[in-house]
Structure 1
Amino acid sequence: MRELSDFEGFHPRDLTGRQRLILVYGTGLIALIVSFTVLYLRGMRTLENRPRSVFQAINTVIATMTTTGYGADAPWTSPAMNLFVSVMQVSGVVVGFVTLRVLIIPLFERTPLKLDDRLSVKDDHVVIAGYERDTEELLNELEALDVGYVLIEDDEEEAKRLSDDGYQAINGDPEERRDLDRASIGEAALLITDAGDRTASVVLTALEANEELRVLSFTTSTRRRAALAEIGVDRSVPPHVLIGQRLAEKATTPVTIETQSSGDNIAIREILVRRGSPLHGVRVGESPLANHPDLTLVAGWFDGELRLQPSQDERLTPNSVLVVAGPEQSIDEVASEVAGVRRPRDSVHSRIAIAGLGEGGVAARDALPDDAQVTTIDQSPDAGADVVGDVTEPETLRAADLEEASALVVTVDDDATALLTIAMARSLAPDVEVLARVTDTEKATAAFRAGADYVLSIQRVCARLAAAEAHGERVMDPVNQIRLVRTNAAPFAGRSLSAVRADSGHGWTVVGIARDGRTHTGPTTEIASEDDVFVAGSDAAIQEFEQTVGSE
């Protein structure tokens, strides 16, 4: 039995078109029977002078409407009662036909109902048109965030399957205005499209119906951004470029800030949970990195999604990265104590190999620091790679000096090639850090088994990015990096570090203080006005901090 709490937040607008039709039909039928019963009671009392009980009246009304008989009260003597009973007889026939069409026939039809009838009332929702990636991945993300949506699917069978599975999907052509109208494009807030060469047609048709519509478009190339902006796309995202940049960022060491005392530095480090780590399945709040008295958990990367101050109940997986801040020595000690967690390197990766020099590989190369020694590998002579050859062959990887590299970024287009490249690289260079991109989300697990340390799936990243855009937030934005600043502690004077951290729910957190040439990060440390504080957060959060709190 369902609890009352199961119905909290329910609204009639959540019903599909068919559910609303059945509700209206049932309500109308009950109202008709009640009305006939009341009129019959009065008629028998006043016109026929034969009073009946309520139950006798209901029995006569139902018997008459269903044409199973006309009740033991027949015949009636007054013209009005005979006319009234005739009306009940006719209405019973009509109700029978309606019942047959609304309830009976649809149950036995081989083809499903019109998919539009399964849509709930839409307003301020998301319309997904021409999405050519893993549709269910995106729809699951939207439903997890409780974002209303309608998917317009070109393929009729796929649309039926998704609708049968409970998704808000219809079959149609997103380039056709009538099909966009079926998805209530006029009341929508956001259009998500991934229609390739059809993107311009889809966007222009949608904007014709709703000029206030925001548009997020996925594109295969950065060269199309200007054209897409010209037709009204608010944000165009090339996933391969985005992921390539992120993988490159993972191959560099985060920032360190010097205090006045040498050897006592405040640092921000990303601690990667590697495959086979005993931290797999451990809650963030129970990890040694989160419980250390001198360290502050600033953020975490979970499958490419940046979460500032992650939930203590979040479980760590081999693809998790915890961003911690505190004295460098404390970070190194904790990282070395945990088997399966890669100890942070003492410097940036000096030699980085990139396998695959498409848009993603070029983006990764361009995102690396100028002082990094980068070797690119591609099979095509026209790509301009340093080493031309098959990245799955040991001779090619050896020609790129993989054994001497500290990291390998795999951005090849084919998942099968990526998996073989990872396995080959791991066999040749056991200590190299392998960061890879796959297309299919399901291949991420296989990539870990092949030997990758960090994997991003195009399907999942696109789905989460689109869902976050619909929800009003950003994920995995390459310009949204973690920063550490040192500033005056006066706004926090008189409070402990733990109290300040508990209140810092704005994307930044206070890591520690500098006092008399020493760094203090313990939670019970009380902040004095003459201290300096170290504040960590995203670029946007730090800018907001400097404009508000930092200017006080």
Structure 2
Amino acid sequence: MSLLPRSIRTGDLSRRHRLVIYYLIGLTALVLTYTVIYNTGMSVLEGRPQSIFRSFQTVTETMTTTGYGADSPWETPIMNLFVVFMQLSGIGVGFFTLRVIVIPLFTGAEVDLDSRLSPKNDHVVICEYDRDSAVLLDELEQLGIDYVLISSDEEEAIDLSDEGYSAIHGSPQEEATFERASIASARAVITDADEANVDTILTVRSVRSDVEIITLTDDSTLRDVLLATGADSVVSPRAVLGQRLARKAMSLYTSELHDTVGIAEGLEVTEISVSRGSPLEGTSIRNSRIRERTGANVVGAWIDGELQLPPDPDAVIGANTVLLVSGDHEALEELGETARPVRPRGREEGVVVAGLGEVGRAALSVVEEEGDIPATTIDIDDGPEVDVVGDVSSRDTLREAGIEDAGVILVCVPNDSTALLTAVLARSLNPDIEILVRMSDAKATTKALRAGADYVLSVPRISARMVARELRGEEVLGAGSQIRIDRVSAEPFAGKTLAESGIYERTGCRVIALEHEGELTTSLDPDRTIAAEDRLVIVGTDEAVQRFLTTFDVSPRPIEK
């Protein structure tokens, strides 16, 4: 049990109060470090040993500019440079203290978030986005789309603004809020205000009738109502997530491809998961001979939850490996048949759907479309579609649902801790079962893979990808994908070869195609010289692509299909 009173425990403090604590700790550490260095320098370099307390006094005088050290002058260049450095850092600490600590705490001055906004034009106004705002805002920044986020939660708005995001505090049901967000020059409005979506849409239309409105809702039955109110498009991320999980499960019984992206005529990119029993399972990338057997190129691979770009030739393909491949449609289909052979299914083998919320119901509808695949549903609350009432993270409940004989379990519960426990229990009860999991936190995806899941989708990532697709008019690889494809200018690498560009070493992205004078080439020679007018097709994780765009200061361009 903590000895600190509840009122001063760090986890219970506001972000501002935590900032003060961290600031004081950091300042103390900085002053003590300077004191030790200065005291050592006076003894070793200046030949004037003195007490640590005298050095502490001199450092404090120097940093606070109340004096520049009673020990002056100093004879050695190193000590003079160190004292100058202390003086400059003291000025920086003073500005930080005044702006972040003194003014908010002692004058009670309110932070004017509007004044932090840069001039906006052709941007997106986002209202009440509550699906991990940072994931969406990072997605927009990666696409080069400017934005303003409106939040009715003042603390959340300040936190986001402090972290560098364009956020303001206000009600999306008031016209003045949209005027502060420069709606007159906006390209679109995204609203995710739950039951206040209708009110928000009507407010937007009263301010500007021609702006595009994209509405997110967790209740797909409201689609017609929202469209009739004035929304141009309605996105239901949880329903889409459930459908994608179920389609991925159904792919165990078919070789049909999903979520392919056309880069050019005759060139597509997709992710293909390797299922248990595949001829590829247990072989290394080098010995799999995928290109020779199918014509598809292995661009990367998710192995044990980590993306390898390019994959280690000696890496072993497992049952949970996801291959990132490129090639023509026929080659990808042939690889799909090899990586996911249609698995034989016993008469009793079926699908267990754990959790019947919006995600679970959407998944169940896809399973039921297949007709001949039995589905058993579990939920904590009884209902007309619930077969087993109980806790999905209980061994007894899973056994009652027939987990030991099932071929697939779709874990659709909203609580991530429950989902992780369910995945672990399902794997212990049936080592051969395919486990597909929904996560509410995008950062928990890796945890789910380590818990035994074969495939994982997160609500924030799906939501952000769907919004990006609506805004950009194309998909970066599919809302359920964990990687991104972008076409970028090659100007920063003009005159260099691909080997000399350092793209992979500096960013983690891989170039999979190069466009020169309208012709796209996928067979890339590392010694080929890049021209300024060329365009590169790069692939990588979200973080890697963002690192590329930031490092080389380029903007992504849509991939024409």
TM range (shorter): 0.5 to 0.7
Pick aligned residue for 2:114 from 104, 113, 116: 116
Q: Which residue of 1 aligns with 2:356?
A: 357
CA separation of 1:187 and 1:269: change in aligned 2, threshold 3 A: closer
Q: Is the 8 A contact 1:437 1:458 kept in 2?
A: yes
Matched, 1:160 2:151: no
Q: Structure 2 counterpart of 1:295, which letter?
A: G
Q: Structure 1 counterpart of 2:353, which letter?
A: I
Q: Which residue of 2 aligns with 1:240?
A: 238
CA separation of 1:344 and 1:418: change in aligned 2, threshold 3 A: same
Q: Is the 8 A contact 1:438 1:457 kept in 2?
A: yes
Instruction: Give the match's secondary structure for 2:138.
Output: helix
CA separation of 1:469 and 1:456: change in aligned 2, threshold 3 A: same
CA separation of 1:132 and 1:479: change in aligned 2, threshold 3 A: closer
Aligned residues: 356
What do residues 141-183 of structure 1 show as CA deviations (whole Å, max 9, x unaligned)?
1111110100112222222222222111111111111111000
Instruction: Give the match's secondary structure for 1:423.
Output: helix
Matched, 1:346 2:339: no
Instruction: Give the match's secondary structure for 1:401.
Output: coil
The structure 1 segments of at least 4 consecutive aligned residues displaced by more than 6 Å after TM superposition are 105-108, 298-303, 314-319, 327-333, 475-480
Distance 1:453 1:186 in 2: 46
Distance 1:256 1:367 in 2: 15
Pick aligned residue for 1:188 from 186, 203, 206: 186
Matched, 1:444 2:445: yes
Gap runs ≥5 in structure 1: 1-104, 258-267, 280-284, 304-309, 336-342, 481-500, 511-543, 546-552
State which structure, 1 or 2, has the greater radius of gyration over its C-alpha atoms.
Answer: 1
Q: Structure 2 counterpart of 1:136, which letter?
A: A
Pick aligned residue for 1:249 from 241, 247, 250: 247
Q: Is the 8 A contact 1:122 1:184 kept in 2?
A: yes
CA drift of 1:269 comes to: 10
Q: Which residue of 1 aligns with 2:261?
A: none
Q: Which residue of 2 aligns with 1:272?
A: 273
CA drift of 1:112 comes to: 6.5
Matched, 1:422 2:423: yes
Instruction: Give the match's secondary structure for 1:204.
Output: helix
Q: Structure 1 counterpart of 2:430, which letter?
A: A
Distance 1:226 1:256 in 2: 31
Q: Is the 8 A contact 1:252 1:348 kept in 2?
A: no
Q: Structure 1 counterpart of 2:358, which letter?
A: E
CA drift of 1:441 comes to: 1.2
Distance 2:162 2:191 in 1: 23
Instruction: Give the match's secondary structure for 1:353.
Output: strand
Q: Percent identity, aligned pairs only?
A: 40
Matched, 1:460 2:457: no
Q: Is the 8 A contact 1:127 1:190 kept in 2?
A: yes
Distance 2:423 2:332 in 1: 34
> TM-score of the superposition, structure 1-length normalised?
0.56
**1:117-516 mapped onto 2 (5 Å cutoff):** 117-253=115-251, 254-255=254-255, 271-272=272-273, 291-292=291-292, 294-296=294-296, 320=322, 322=324, 325-326=330-331, 335=339, 344-347=341-344, 351-368=350-367, 369-474=370-475
Q: Which residue of 2 aligns with 1:39?
A: none
Once the two structures are overlaid, the 10-residue window that deviates more, 136-145 or 155-164, is 155-164
> TM-score of the superposition, structure 2-length normalised?
0.55
Q: Structure 1 counterpart of 2:341, which letter?
A: P
Distance 1:434 1:192 in 2: 33
Instruction: Give the match's secondary structure for 1:170.
Output: strand
Q: Structure 1 counterpart of 2:131, which letter?
A: R
Q: Structure 2 counterpart of 1:357, which letter?
A: L
Distance 2:308 2:164 in 1: 30
**1:9-20 mapped onto 2 (5 Å cutoff):** none
What do residues 322-346 of structure 1 show as CA deviations (whole Å, max 9, x unaligned)?
467549887677x5xxxxxxx6343
CA drift of 1:114 comes to: 2.2
